[in-house]
Amino acid sequence: MSGLARWLVVACAVLCLGAASDPTERLADPGQEARARALFKEVRCLVCQNESIDASNAELAQDLRAIVRQEVAQGRTDIEVRRFLTDRYGEYVLLKPRFSWANAALWLIPFLVVLAGGGMLASRWRTPPPEPELTGAESEALARLRQDET
C-alpha cells in the first residue's frame, strides 16, 4: 500500500471515530470511557429495541449513554451500573438478560404448549370415536330390516 493510501485509511478511521460520538460527551479518563463504551454495547435502546445504545441515534439512547457515563465517572462497577439500569428500566434494558426462572419460563412455556397440543392430537388419532347409540325408532327399523333379509 502506498503512503498516500495509508494516510487516507488512517484519516478515514480517525474521522469515523470522531463521528461516533460527541467529544463533549466523552469522559476525560480513557479507561473509564472504554468501560462506558463496553457497557453501551450491552444495553438495549428502548426505542429501537433490537439495537444497543452504542449504535442508536435516538434521544433516549443518548440519555442512557449519559447515565452510563455518569455512573462510570462516579466510580461504580459494571455490575452496579447494570443493576442501576435494570432497577430503573427493568430486565428488558439488557441485550443479554441474566438467567432467571421467570426468563426461562418465558422461553419454555410456548414449547410446552406446542408439546401438549401435539400430545392431545396424537391421543385423539389413536382412539377411534365411539359408536353413536341408536334411538328407539332406529333400533326398530334395523330389526325390521334384519327380519326382511331372512
H/E stretch holding 7:
helix 3-20
| Separation between Cα atoms, residue 1 and residue 10, nearest integer Å | 12
The pTM score is: 0.56
pLDDT at 2: 61
> What's the pLDDT tens digit per position in 81-118?
999 999 999 888 998 877 888 878 888 999 999 999 99
The number of C-alpha atoms within 13 Å of 146 and in the hemisphere containing its C-beta is 6
25 has pLDDT over 50: yes
Residues 6+ apart with CB under 8 A from 56: 45, 47, 48
Beta bridge partners of 44: 52
| DSSP classification of residue 22 | -
Secondary structure, 3-state, 72-131? HHCCCCHHHHHHHHHHHHCHHHECCCCCCHHHHHHHHHHHHHHHHHHHHHHHHHHCCCCC
The domain 3-93 having CATH identifier 3.90.1200.10: the answer here is no
Domain ranges of the chain: 3-93, 101-149
The answer to whether 96 and 42 have CB atoms below 8 angstroms apart is: yes
21 has pLDDT over 60: no
pLDDT at 50: 84
